[in-house]
Amino acid sequence: MRRKNLLLSGWGRFPSAKSDAFRPEKLSEIAACLRDGDGSILARGAGRSYGDQALNSAGAVVLTERLDRFLSLETEGSTSTLTVEAGISLSAIQRLLIPRGLMLPVSPGTGFATVGGAIANDIHGKNHDADGSFGAHVAWIDLLTASGDVRRLTPDETPRDFWATVGGAGLTGIILAAALRLLKIPSNAVALREERMPDLAAFLNGLRAARAAARFSVGWIDALASGDRIGRGILETADLSAEGVAITPRKAKAIPLNLPTFCLSRSSVTLFNAAYYHRIPRAGRQSLRAIEDFLYPLDALAHWNRLYGKLGFSQFQAVLPDDAAETGLRALLNAVGQGGTASFLAVLKTLGAEGSGLLSFPQPGFTLALDLPRRAETEALLARLEAITLDHGGRIYLAKDSALSAAGFARMYPRLAEFQAIAAEMDPVGRFASDQSRRLNLRGA
């Protein structure tokens, strides 16, 4: 298999690193990538994790983008199951399913992510309290292991290997295919309610109430508001709607090039965030929205990461337990506000019960995600945010991370040692690694 040397980065475009890349066209060619490489290797899907998770500058990556086929769609009793190759995007799946009255039960904020990436990060959506994370709906995974064998992992027969692979950041093997249990939907739309939340306390109350009252909920916070207004924003809650909407094909807009950094000055972003807040009438509003538009709002704007210029940005996402959430979130938002860099809207959501993935991110509490444009002080700010997260018993999400310390990570993920032991059984020679796994020592000593 021929390799191509590519400059790769995550969606945040920081850090970037040169790496050899294989791009198999068929499943039968993937095993050859594993045989032909001698160093470490890592599957890379759409490159939609933000930091260095899908980079492997010390070895090679296997691009899974050409392994994007539907393999079957079956209904047995009341359960429908879709089988796909791992490189297919979640959007492609939703486009197939939604007209058939089905959807993926769990989706992140972008439909461009692949199934392989969704499993490797055990991603969550705006409905974690109701539906859990992605891994909870996976019936089996076909995994190419370090020995070159393809193993079918299931939660019943191979729970250890399955739950090390779900959320395992690609470090147990290369996910080739998976079977996904689907959600029945009454129409192609959600009934959406949007309300202004004047401050953080109101926001947390609103989200808490939404946990039981709505299937989906997400908050958009103006991360530059300060003083009394800290934590103000828009709360969106939604439920599957019986009534559908007419779909007009979205005209994809794109950011054509890297914006110069002055476009993201503090004043311009403050204006944008304020406008976003005041867009919703004081009394709130209700509407029907197409499911894809609701789940993937930013996908309508291709290359939106160019908004942050060529320096890129770091994304930060942490979850804090319920009881520590208000003080912890206030501390995080204060640190960001004082950081001097302009952050666009931040996202605030609730998470429900912890799943079984050993390195899965979700734990009960409130999760805050925000973009930090890369500047000289970003590194220090991220270290500060890590410390605040640790102080409040929270954890940071591997899919977003580019800056955590190995010690900090180990404190956040108590099942790390268990993961390392299983990964060592599955891949004794340590073939599977990433820039992130080396930085955080995920594979252990």
Partner 1 sequence: MADRTWLILGASSPIARAFARLVAGQGARLVLAGRDTDDLNRSAADLRLRGATAVVVESFDAEDSASLDALAASLPRHASPGGLDVFLAFGLMPEQKAMEADPALAARCLTATFLGAAHLLLAIAPMLEAGRAGRVIVLGSVAGDRGRFSNYVYGSAKAGLAAFCSGLRARLYRSGVTLTFAKPGFLDTGMTWGLPGIFYAESPERAATTLLRAALKGKEVLYVPGFWALIMLIIRSVPEKIFKKLSI
CA distance 296 to 309: 22
Stretch that binds partner 1, among 68-76, 190-198, 282-290, 433-441 (CB under 8 A): 68-76
Distance CA 424, CA 418 (A): 10
Q: How many CB atoms lie within 10 A of CB 347?
A: 19
Going residue by residue from 79 to 98, which x/- string records binding to partner 1, judged by CB under 8 A?
A: ------x----------x--
Out of 13, 14, 23, 210, the only residue in the binding site for partner 1 (CB under 8 A) is 23
Binding of residue 29 to partner 1 (CB under 8 A): yes
25 is a site residue for partner 1 (CB under 8 A): yes
Nearest to 152 by CA among 164, 161, 143: 143
For partner 1, the binding residue among 18, 36, 39, 66 (CB under 8 A) is 66
CB of 66 to partner 1, least distance (A): 7
**Position 105, amino acid:** P
Query: Which residues partner with 63 through β-bridges?
Result: 44
What is the Cα Rg of the chain in Å? 21
- C-alpha of 20 from chain center: 25
Minimum CB separation of residue 7 from partner 1 in Å reads 14
Among 17, 27, 300, 324, binds partner 1 (CB under 8 A): 27
With contacts defined by CB under 8 A, how many residues of the chain interact with partner 1?
19
Taking a C-beta distance cutoff of 8 angstroms, is the pair 163, 356 a contact? yes
Residue 248 in the binding site for partner 1 (CB under 8 A)? no
Residue 30 C-beta: closest distance to partner 1, Å: 12
Q: Using DSSP, state whether 68 is helix, strand or coil.
A: coil
Binding of partner 1 at residue 73 (CB under 8 A)? yes
Should residue 4 be labelled a site residue for partner 1 when binding is judged by CB under 8 A? yes
Instruction: Closer to partner 1 by CB, 85 or 122: give it.
Output: 85
Cis peptide, bond prior to residue 414, ω within 30 of zero:
no
| b/e 290-307 (16+ beta carbons within 10 angstroms → b) | bbbbbbbeebeeeebbbb
Nearest C-alpha neighbor of 245 from the set 99, 107, 438? 99
Candidate ranges 67-75, 159-167, 298-306, 381-389; the one touching partner 1 (CB under 8 A): 67-75
Least Cβ distance, residue 92 to partner 1 (angstroms): 9
Query: Minimal distance in Å, beta carbon 121 to partner 1?
Result: 25
Residues forming the site for partner 1 (CB under 8 A): 2-5, 23-29, 66, 69-73, 85, 96
